Structure 1
Amino acid sequence: MHKGKITIHDISKELGIDSSTVSRALNNSPRVSKKTKEKISAKAKELGYQRNSLASKLRTNKTHTIGVIIPRISRHFFASAIAGIEETAYDAGYDVIICQSLDSYEREQKLIETLLANRVDGIIISISMETTNYNHLDRYKANGFPMIFFDRPCETEKNTNVIIDDFQASFEVTEHLIFNGYKNIVHFSGPQTNLLYQNRCKGYKAALKKHKYPIRKEYIIESKLMEEDGIENAKKALNLPNVDAIYSANDMAAISAMQYLKSQNIKIPEQIAFAGFSNEPVSAVIEPSLTTVNQPSFEMGKVATNILFDQLNNNTRENKTTILEPTLIIRNSSSKTNNN
């Protein structure tokens, strides 16, 4: 019986094979015959040998681990993107460390430091709503590590972004409401310090402008678009004159606003129509079902990971933006006849 951790030398002693040959075999070296490899592998398994992956990683200066920072794992969009990231990373032999910033700048800073300390080979990140200063990200990139931004783009130097066309998607949602006869459309916007929400707000304004509708500042209500914000925004919208539609830059705020208005006996969409953004699963099953924008989140995760590996393998860092196509999903919340 062996006591303690099994080493290469234990396998070597058992088989009467030189320890350097055992090491080469376990590292799948072409210098060792298939028959010998199989013999050594079987003995290693029998003895319960485990490779010291940390020592191996330190020797190669690669950990074969990537870090992922997202605002919230509870959001279907981010959970689906992580599935795409993990599938791609697993196929490439990489582990994934997943972190949540909870949309906090301070927490995001600490997570970058943690991932740097854990020597991850690269980071895929969707920045927090509070992030307006990018020094912590630049410090990480200055160490030579690749960083890919997804969903929420970052416009500092030499950045790689994987996003959807937020402007166009937002334009199409607003125009859909206009085509359905709605004239006084309130927009629940995310923080205008964030490029993603800037683009969605610009799309909303562009659709109004195209159809010669006035752009009214009081009809743009800015918040973090959490559940409680949806309720507060709905109360504000009710105090505005003639509001007949609400377009929210995410589904969460749209759904809580809809529930609040229904509690006030306001009929949706007959009195106030709704549209959201991100196609959370609940948006299809609430009553009425919510018109929204579907983002190819799983594909976005895969694309971002493949770009990261491409940069790792070719040692390149480039300024590149990949834009994926979103889809407008029209449901009952935006139809005056409520029979779409």
Structure 2
Amino acid sequence: MEVKKATIKDVAKKAKVSTATVSYVMNSSRFVKDETRERVLKAMEELNYRPSTVAKSLKGKDSKVIGLIIPIIPHDTSADFFLTLSNGIESVLNEVGYRLVISNSHENILNELDQVSMFSTQFTDYIDGLIIVPTLKVNNESYEVLNTQYPVVYVDRKPNNLKNVAMDMVYSNNYFITYEAIEMILKKNRRKIGFISGPIDVSSTVERFDAYKDVLKKYQIPLDENLIYVGESSYQSGFKMAEELLANQEVDGLVVVNNTISMGVFKYLKEQKIKIPEEISFLSYDDFQWMELTEPPITTIRQPSYEMGQVAAKLMLEKLEAGTRQSKEICVDSKIILRGSL
């Protein structure tokens, strides 16, 4: 039977320290008390933990390798978004002789911390920088590990739990584009607009929900919690949420801010023979080919995933070339694709 190889998380747990502290000990990148250092070294010895020497031996002056961590969940069409973003990053890096190493956190904070630790210890002398789409909760521990090593660029989502921390960030105008799209629905004299979403726990979804609340307030429409449904990001969940919402409420507009959920919602509307847009205006997020093939074609907000990847890669190269720690935030505009569902 194959023996499981110890990870940096195992060492941290046994030594009763953070993964960041293990990183500091291994790389001598920060002062660590002698007692703590000895505890970490003892844990490494007892677990027979050894950092990768292969990766370290590959390092010359510059490895010309960039790491990327993305949060893809199985059976979620948002995987297309992150893969397209990855292609955008790679298209820029390839032009200047850089390679991309991709890791998937599966939208799990523990996986993400383990991968951050891997890049920050075993591969710290292998990669020149790290681009990351953070999971639901980025905490100070994970940020400290990142902040003590190579340049790091966050893309698509702003870490929720880091306050007053300067960082390099590439994102889209989620709030303003969502506000504008919902306002289009309101201008069609719709007043009972439902909001259906996956978990509202990453910055992009939070901003879309804030836009929904704020545009209603502008038009003096009271926020009705009975019109707000939050559930799992899946086709089945979308179908069920639409069924429950429309069975209990009069609705003349729907805003669905997750493309996977949108498929389930649209399926329910068609099964119930609810006329779009005559009876209900329908707005979705992201832009997939199936949205053009429906009857009517669906109005959606197209996120510039490829362009965001390109900008993130260019920002990373700029950081590497300049060698500066001054942070920069860049917004890449999304676009409303008007079709026939509003």
- What corresponds to 1:317 in structure 2? 325
Specify the SS of the correspondent of 1:187. strand
Q: Which residue of 1 aligns with 2:144?
A: 138
Correspondent of 1:118 among 90, 104, 123: 123
Larger Rg: 1
1:102-251 maps to which residues of 2 (within 5 A)? 102-116=106-120, 117-119=122-124, 120-128=127-135, 130-142=136-148, 144-154=149-159, 156=162, 157-251=165-259
Query: Which residue type is aligned with residue 293 of structure 1?
Result: I
Mapped contact 1:132–1:194 kept (Cα < 8 A):
no
Unmatched segments (≥5 aa) in structure 1: 1-52, 335-340
Q: CA deviation at 1:70?
A: 1.6
CA distance in 2 between counterparts of 1:124 and 1:223 reads 29
Alignment of 1:50-69 (within 5 A): 57-60=58-61, 62-69=62-69
Report the CA distance shift for 1:318/1:225 in structure 2 as closer, same or farther (over 3 A): farther
Aligned residues: 279
1:83 matches 2:109: no
Shift of 1:220: 2.0
- The answer to whether the Cα contact below 8 Å between 1:105 and 1:131 also exists between their aligned partners in 2 is yes
1:330 to 328, 331, 338: 338
Contact 2:63–2:128 under 8 Å retained in 1: yes
Q: What TM-score results when the alignment is normalised by the length of structure 1?
A: 0.76
Residue in 2 that maps onto 1:70: 70
Contact persistence 1:164–1:324 (CA under 8 A):
yes
Aligned letter for 1:68?
Answer: L
Alpha-carbon shift at residue 224 of structure 1 (Å): 4.1
Q: Distance in 2 between matches of 1:224 and 1:160?
A: 30
- Distance in 2 (alpha carbons) for counterparts of 1:69 and 1:284: 31
Q: In structure 1, what is the Cα distance between the partners aligned to 2:259 and 2:310?
A: 23
- Write out per-residue CA displacement over residues 305-324 of structure 1, whole angstroms, 9 at most, x where no aligned residue: 11111112222223321111
User: Which of 277, 297, 301 is 1:293 aligned to?
Assistant: 301
Alignment correspondent of 2:98: 94
CA contact (8 A) 2:138 2:159 kept: no
Q: Deviations over 1:96-131 (max 9, x none)?
A: 011222222222222223333233221111122x32
Give, in whole Å, the separation in 2 of the partners of 1:57 and 1:259.
52
Distance in 2, Cα, partners of 1:217 & 1:55 = 54
Distance 1:134 1:228, change over 3 A: farther
Q: Distance in 2 between matches of 1:320 and 1:55?
A: 30
Query: 1:46 maps to which residue?
Result: none
Of stretches 249-258 and 111-120 in structure 1, the one that deviates more from structure 2 is: 111-120
Structure 1 contact 147–160 (Cα < 8 Å) conserved: yes
- The residue number in structure 2 matching 1:16 is none
Letter in 2 for 1:139: V
Question: Please, what is the CA RMSD of the aligned residues?
Answer: 2.2
Tell me the distance in 2 between the aligned counterparts of 1:237 and 1:132. 32
Unaligned runs of 5+ in 2: 1-53
Which range moved further: 299-308 or 311-320? 311-320
**In structure 2, what is the Cα distance between the partners aligned to 1:192 and 1:178?**
23
> Structure 1 pair 66/132, CA: closer, same or farther in 2 (3 Å)?
closer
Q: 1:244-265: per-residue Cα shift (whole Å, max 9, x none)?
A: 1110112221122111222233
- Tell me, what secondary structure is at the counterpart of 1:255? helix
Task: Give aligned-pair identity as a percent.
Answer: 27
- Residue identity matched to 1:297: S
Using a 3 Å threshold, how does the CA distance of structure 1 residues 316 and 184 change in structure 2: closer, same or farther?
Answer: same
- Give the secondary-structure state (helix, strand or coil) at the position aligned to 2:285: coil
1:146 is displaced (CA, Å) by 1.4
Stretch deviating more after TM superposition (88-97 or 222-231): 222-231
